[in-house]
Chains A and B, each alone.
Chain A
Amino acid sequence: MKLARDTWLIFQRQIQLLLRNPVWVFVGVFQPVMYLLLFAPLLKPALRASSQAEAYKIFVPGLLVLLAIFGGLFQGFGLIAELRAGVIERSRVTPVSRLALLLGRSLRDVVSLVVQAIIITLLALLFDLRVFIGYLLLAYLMLALIALMTSAVSYGVALKVKSEDALAPLMNTVAQPVLLLSGILLPLTFAPGWLQGVAKWNPFSWAVEGTRALFAGDLSNDRVWQGLTIIAVLAVAGVVWAARQFARSVR
């Protein structure tokens, strides 16, 4: 009860500040839209898809997962600014739940991600993408869990390194192999055996395959529940770890 109330307070404040500066919607959507417009047309011939809509069914889910990973991983920068302003320390002398300090922020990231995802899905509809709404909601759940995990990890790392200069290269170094090994841009079915073997160890590749299965309307595909489970477990682990950083962080 107290956790829910505290989380709501932090979330409210974060959303309020976010809405005060709505440029993020534009910034957050601009890049994926560019991919959608300038990269996706190459896919039909490249993937030997039967139609453009078919190519989008493969590409859009990957794009959304990419958005969730990157959107989350770079949230730590905002926290470092708050750390520097003394806002975190001010919160830490109150009896507010430490977990709420994290969850309130991560939930804002989840909400802003889902808004971006909805905008991109709507745009993709213009390109004849068709998805059953129930499956789409499940895919959004997957995205939400990914964003929860990556933003929590980003906050935890930010509290540990306490500087943008350290956070930026660190996050880029993590994000790049994760991106390449997840089959986000092109499905890993094209990959040589060794690459597929390595990718099996990347939880995000399971998430991407699961999301693709949902977009394809293939709910019975094992990757759906496997992806959701893996990401959910990792999200919980990430949240627990990051909340501990909030409890112990110095300055």
Chain B
Amino acid sequence: MIETRGLRKSFRSRAGRETKTVDAVRGVNLEVAEGEIFGFLGPNGAGKTTTLRMLATLIEPDGGEATIAGADLRKDPAEVRRRIGYVAQGGSTWDESTAREELVLQARLYGISKAEAHQRAVRALEAFQLSEYADRKCKTYSGGQRRRVEIALGIIHEPKIVFLDEPTTGLDPQSRAHMWDEIRRLRAEGMTVFITTHYLDEADALCDRIAIMDHGEVVAEGTPAELKREISGEVVLVGLDATATPRAAELLDTEAYVHKLETADEGGLRLYVDEGATAIPQILRRLDGAGLDLGSIELHRPSLDDVFLTKTGRSLRES
């Protein structure tokens, strides 16, 4: 659905007399498949928004190529515009207009007829649970309502891809969960969703695949599960009493799925495995078969923050 090769953008900024060139995006290669929620994860200033704005035809890349929904970004931006939707981070609704007016106008800007635009506005208002406030001015909406109007605006022309720049920033937890549901609904309708976020939990819970971005470059890409596995696999903590521990260690050490085995000082084992979900049943069977009494079993998964830490040398929470 989206393919980019070497997408670049630098900005010139003036500080005093010196002109400095800042490489905001330095050669981004991405592949986004149809029908997935693709997440761009990274700290503020990593180049996420700049990349998104290039893909949405709002700024011209300095170099590189991209194909979006079959249209060439460099040669035919007008066609790209027809096929994509874009929802900016800072809002896009006018205080004095109503949601319905905004939706109808937006549809019409895409060349949709008046009657059809009104029908689509009604459908969008229903889908986003906005019918009740449809004819109130945007300035009266809550943050979550307003964000839903903005997303509805971004997809009123039924694009193949929608770009959402930080769709949940500034929302309270409840509105955020609501927004996640809306985004999943878009995917269920067959849309490809490209979001940026600096929330780890959001990337983890919402996205099918993510690219981690730092200093204008993609430092890692994959499904959240793959990325986490890539760094250290997963750890299964097996709780046993001290007497049973040596015997259990002996039994499990020979199993193929266990990469490394450590005995904890106070008894119990730490098993490093590829995938805890498939290892746990096997561990249980093995220990049960040997008649050993199992106190507890716990799966420790590395978080995306661990991934970010490994790739960039610092924690996302700190940056």
Contact = CB atoms under 8 A, between A and B. Distances in A.
Interface of A: 2, 6, 9, 13, 16-17, 20-21, 82, 85-87, 89-96, 250
B172 interface: no
B172 to A, nearest CB: 21
Contact of A90 (B78, B95, B96, B153): B153
A93 B86 contact: yes
Nearest to A6: B109
Contact of B91 (A6, A86, A91, A96): A86
Nearest to B60: A248
B97 A91 contact: no
B286 interface: no
B94 A93 contact: no
Given A21-B96, A95-B82, A89 B88 contact: yes
Contact of A86 (B81, B90, B96, B106): B90
B92 A94 contact: no
B32 to A, nearest CB: 18
B58 interface: yes
Q: Is the interface of B mostly helix, strand, loop or mixed?
A: loop
Interface in B71-95: 78, 81-82, 84-86, 88, 90-95
Contact of A89 (B58, B84, B110, B111): B58
B106 A17 contact: no
Given A9-B105, A9-B109, A93-B57, A85 B81 contact: no
24 contacts: A9-B105, A9-B109, A13-B97, A13-B105, A17-B97, A82-B94, A85-B93, A85-B94, A85-B95, A86-B91, A89-B58, A89-B92, A90-B92, A90-B106, A93-B56, A93-B58, A93-B85, A93-B86, A94-B106, A94-B157, A95-B82, A95-B110, A96-B109, A250-B59
Q: Which 7 A-B pairs have the closest CB atoms?
A: A86-B92, A90-B92, A94-B109, A93-B86, A96-B109, A95-B81, A86-B91
Given A87-B92, A89-B58, 9 more contacts: A2-B111, A21-B96, A82-B94, A86-B93, A87-B94, A93-B86, A94-B81, A95-B78, A95-B111
Contact of A17 (B58, B82, B96): B96
B193 to A, nearest CB: 16
B176 interface: no
Given A17-B97, A21-B96, A85-B95, A91 B88 contact: no
Given A85-B91, A85-B94, A89-B92, A94 B59 contact: no
Given A21-B96, A85-B91, A85-B94, A91 B109 contact: yes
Given A21-B96, A85-B93, A85-B95, A90 B81 contact: no
Nearest to B11: A250
Contacts, number: 58
B81 A93 contact: yes
Interface string B45-69: 0000000000011110000000000
A2 B108 CA distance: 11
Interface of B: 56-59, 78, 81-82, 84-86, 88, 90-97, 101, 105-106, 108-111, 153, 157
B93 A94 contact: no
Contacts of A92: 58
A92 B92 CA distance: 11
Contacts of B111: 2, 95
Q: Of residues A6, A85, A90, A93, which shows the largest number of chain B Cβ atoms within 10 Å of its Cβ?
A: A93
Contacts of B153: 90
A9 B85 CA distance: 20
A86 B106 CA distance: 13
A6 B101 CA distance: 16
A5 to B, nearest CB: 8
B284 to A, nearest CB: 53
B110 A94 contact: yes
Contacts of B93: 85-87
A95 B85 CA distance: 11
A90 B93 CA distance: 9
Contacts of A90: 88, 92, 106, 153
Contacts of B106: 90, 94
A86 B88 contact: yes
B113 to A, nearest CB: 11
A89 to B, nearest CB: 5
Nearest to A92: B58
B56 A20 contact: no
B288 to A, nearest CB: 59
Contacts of B157: 94
Contacts of B97: 13, 17
Nearest to A84: B90
Nearest to B163: A93
A9 B113 CA distance: 11
B58 A85 contact: no
A91 B93 CA distance: 11
B70 to A, nearest CB: 16
Contacts of A96: 109
A21 B86 CA distance: 30
